[in-house]
Amino acid sequence: MHKMRSVALLIETSRAYGRGLVRGAARYNREHGQWLTYFQPHGLDDPPPEWLKNWKGDGILVRIGDRRMADAVLQTGLPSVDLRGMIPELAIPLIGVDNRELAQLAADHLLERGFRHFGFCGWTRGVQHCMDERLDCFEQLVEAAGFHCDVFKARRAPRKRDAWEKEQEQIAQWIEQLPKPAGVMASNDDRGMQVLDACRRAAVKVPDQVAVIGVDNDEYLCGLSIPPLTSIDVYSDRIGYEAAALLDKMMDGQPAPEGPISVPPRNIVTRQSTDVLATDDLDVVRAVSFIRENACRRISVGDVLKHVDLSCAALEPRMKRVLGRTIYQEIQRVQIERVKELLLGTDLPVKRIARRAGFKYVQHLSRVFSQFTGQTPGQYRKGLRR
C-alpha cells in the first residue's frame, strides 16, 4: 500500500472554476484515499503562503499566476501540476481546458442561431496564453465558416480609479460599430458580464442585435448579468480530477508529460443572452421555434410544414440558407442535444433516454448519435464522467 501523502492545493475559491478544480481533486482523493491535503481558501493571484518555504510535503496542485508563485513552487523541488498556464515554457506540467474544442462549441452555437457577423472580446494580448489561444481558435473557426470575426483590441488598463469605467466605454464603442445582428464570444464570464453591460450602455438589444456567450459557467456571474449569460461549462471538476491523477503518478516517480494536457469542455448552458435566431425570415423563425419545442415528441417534417403552412419546396431552401441544415437535420440536431443533456445530467438507461428524446428505437438513437458525435451514447457518457 502507498503511504499517506501530503499534497498542497494552492487553488483560489473565489470563482466557480477554482471551486470546480478543488471538487475534482477531492473526488480523486475520496476514491483513492491516500492524501492529506493542505488547503486554505484564498483569492486568485494571492502571494505564495509563507508556510510553503519550509513545507515538507509530497506534491502540489497550483494555479500559477505570476513569477512569485512559480518561483515559490519550483524552489520546493516537489512534483507539481499547474492548472492555469499564465507563464509560458514553465518547467511544471500544465493541464487545462481544450481551447479549440471550447471555441468550436461557441462558434457552432452562434452559427446554429443563424449569425453571419461575429466578434470576440478578450483581454490584453500576450498576458494570458490560454486566452490568446481561445481567441485564435474562435477567429480561425469563424473564418473557416466563411465569415469575419471582429476582435476587441483590449489594452492593458492603467491602475486608476476610473480605469474600469473607461474600458466599458471602449467596449460599448466597439459594440456600436459591429455589423448586426452579431454573435460575440467573450473569453470568460467576467468579460461576458462586461460585454452585456456595454450593450446596455450603447442601447444595443441583447440577444436580438448582439448575442453573447461566455466561458466557465459561473452561475453567480451568469445570473448577475442582464440578461442572464449563456456560458460554456469547461468541466473544471474533471480538470481537477485529472490533475490529481497526474500528480499521483509523478509522486510515484513517473516522468512528467512533455506537453500540456487538454481536457474537453462539457457543454453549453444556454440562457437568455443567446436565445435568438438571427434572421428576418419569420417563417424560418416559426419553424425553428416549433422544432426546438417539439422535436422530442417524435414530430416529422410534415408536422413542421403544417405548423408554418408552407410546402417543403418553399421552406427547405430558406432553412438551409439561414441554418445550413434541412428541416429533418434540425429536428435530429435538437434531439441529439437533448440526448447529450440526459446522458450527462441523469443516470437513466439509454433505452429510456431514447424515448424521452423522441426516438422509437434505441438502435436508431445510437446510429444518429454516432453520426453526429463519432461516439456511441455509452462512450460519450463514460468520457464526460471520467
Q: With contact defined as beta carbons under 8 Å apart, do 17 and 236 qualify? A: yes
Between CA 133 and CA 187 the distance in angstroms is 10
Average pLDDT over residues 138-150: 97
Supply the pLDDT for residue 128: 84
Domain boundary among 217, 247, 274: 274
pLDDT for 200: 94
Identify whether residues 209 and 85 lie together within a single domain: no
Cell of 149: 470575426
Clarify whether residues 90 and 111 are in a common domain.
no
Same domain as 159, residue 61: no
For residues 327 and 379, membership in a common domain is answered with yes
What is the model's pLDDT at position 154? 82
Determine the pLDDT at residue 385.
55
Give pLDDT tens digits for 71-96: 999 999 999 999 998 887 888 999 99
Task: Over range 101-111, report the average pLDDT.
Answer: 95
Residue 56 corresponds to which cell in the numbers above? Answer: 515538507
Q: Which residues of 19-50 are buried (b: 16+ CB within 10 A; e: fewer)?
A: bbbbebbbebbeeeebbebbeeeeeeeeebee
Q: pLDDT tens, 32-85?
A: 878 999 988 888 888 999 999 999 999 999 999 899 999 999 999 999 999 998
Q: Are residues 21 and 147 in the same domain?
A: no
Average pLDDT in the 353-379 region?
A: 92
- pLDDT mean across residues, the chain: 91
CATH of the domain at 216: 3.40.50.2300
At 161 the pLDDT is: 64
Give the H/E segment covering residue 81.
strand 80-82
Cα separation values, 236 from 54, 85, 98, 157, Å: 30, 14, 11, 28
Tell me: the pLDDT tens digits for 277-331?
888 888 998 999 899 889 999 999 999 999 999 999 999 999 998 888 899 999 9
pLDDT tens track for 233-286 = 999 999 999 999 999 999 999 999 988 999 999 889 999 999 888 888 889 989
| Same-domain check for residues 240 and 224 | no
Mean pLDDT on 159-168: 78
Quote the domain boundaries for residue 158. Answer: 99-234+268-274
pLDDT of 380 > 90? The answer is no
Count up the domains in the chain and report the number.
Answer: 3
